[in-house]
Amino acid sequence: MMLSRRLSSALAAAAVALGVAGTAHAESRTVCAYDPAGKAGDYYRMLDSWATEAGGWGHQIEIKAYTDEETAAKDYEAGVCDGVVATGVRLQRFNRFASTIEAIGGLPEYNLLHQLVDAFVKYPSSAKYLRNNDNETVGIVPVGKVYLFVRDRNIDTVADLAGKRIATLDYDEPSKAMVERVGAIMVPADLGTLGPKFNNGDVDACYATAPVYQPFELHRGVGSAGGIVKLPLAQATLQIMIKHERFSDDFGTKSRAWWSKEFGKALAMVEKTEAAIPADKWIEIPAEKHPDFDDMFGTVRDGLKASGAYDGKMLSTLKKIRCAADSSRAECAG
């Protein structure tokens, strides 16, 4: 009887200790998340599911919705948030390796982006590059290929872009470099002014993803004379970044695996918006003209690598993926 009572007391004490430890470990964390539609957005809903899953990893996460991504990034930088969700280009100041995933001409197809996302899960050693100081990228979500929207559909070569006014996000160094490379005129814009500038005719072109076609009413700028150049400039992503020291050591590994499994769901949302755009709005670029664009993309990438805006290791990885998919590309010779 005495042994039984002692055993019961020991088990009770252990349970209390575990309970206290578990409570202490499951501290609340805040992630400042950008979604153009706020809490009503599709990406916010995915993040909400991620936060629920994270409860099983020992973390209680509150998703704080932002409709302005720079505010979300600044709050993260100021320590208001333990994590942030924003586009790769917006987070480039925290981790250039991760932001270079969005390199111009880096990954022309969605399946290639999926391969890269999966690689960070299959080969854990590669994931170390996703951490820069205390900033760790723990999820990569596809949000669409970046296309050039033009008011004149006769533009179908690199040379045609010379002298054209292109609305360019003023914080996006790669896009500014591309505009300069083709001899176009950069017109500074942000996500709030890009649509109006294009729609009102203040610029000849802008670049955007299909998911913003309807909310930005870009069909007004395209009109009957314009179109969308069906040759992706890059792939935009939403990236989930955390302060590593505020989470368990294995949080990033578990999170990246979860987001990798959700890739198809996120991509389906993007492809649905692409399919909703009228077929006659797309401008097909003949295959024989693709090398000119590839050459322009490569020149821009080299320049941005030299300036430090792009990470060389990621650029090498992207090239290996492109060449594995299509060894006939000129860059893959030799």
Question: Is residue 13 pLDDT above 50, yes or no?
Answer: no
pLDDT in tens, 179-210: 898 899 999 998 889 999 999 999 999 999 99
- CA end-to-end span of the chain, whole Å? 81
Answer whether 229's CB lies under 8 Å from 155's CB. Answer: yes
The percentage of the chain sitting over the pLDDT mark of 70, rounded to a whole number, equals: 92
- Is the domain defined by 146-235+280-332 classed in CATH 3.40.190.10? yes
Q: Where are the alpha helices (DSSP H) in the chain?
A: 2-25, 42-54, 69-77, 96-99, 110-122, 173-181, 194-199, 219-222, 251-261, 263-276, 290-307, 312-325
Confidence of residue 127 (pLDDT cuts 50, 70, 90): confident
Kindly report, as residue ranges, where domains of CATH 3.40.190.170 are found in the chain. Answer: 23-144+237-274
Topology of domain 23-144+237-274 in CATH is: D-Maltodextrin-Binding Protein; domain 2 (3.40.190)
12 pLDDT higher than 70? no
Return the pLDDT at 33: 97
Residue with the two structure tokens 């030299």:
306
Backbone CA torsion sign across 159, 160, 164, 168:
negative
Looking at residue 178, its pLDDT comes to 85
Q: What pLDDT, in 10s, does the model give residues 144-170?
A: 999 999 999 998 778 888 999 999 988
pLDDT band at 76 (very low <50, low <70, confident <90, very high): very high
**What pLDDT was estimated at residue 192?**
84
Please give the share of the chain, as a percent, with pLDDT higher than 90.
76
Per-residue confidence (pLDDT) for residue 156, from 0 to 100: 75
pLDDT of 9: 43
Q: Cite the residue boundaries of each domain of the chain with CATH code 3.40.190.10.
A: 146-235+280-332
Tokens for 219, please give them: 């069909």
Tell me the average pLDDT of the chain: 90
Q: Quick: pLDDT tens for 212-262.
A: 999 899 999 999 999 999 999 999 999 999 999 999 999 999 999 999 999
- State both tokens at 83: 């994590």
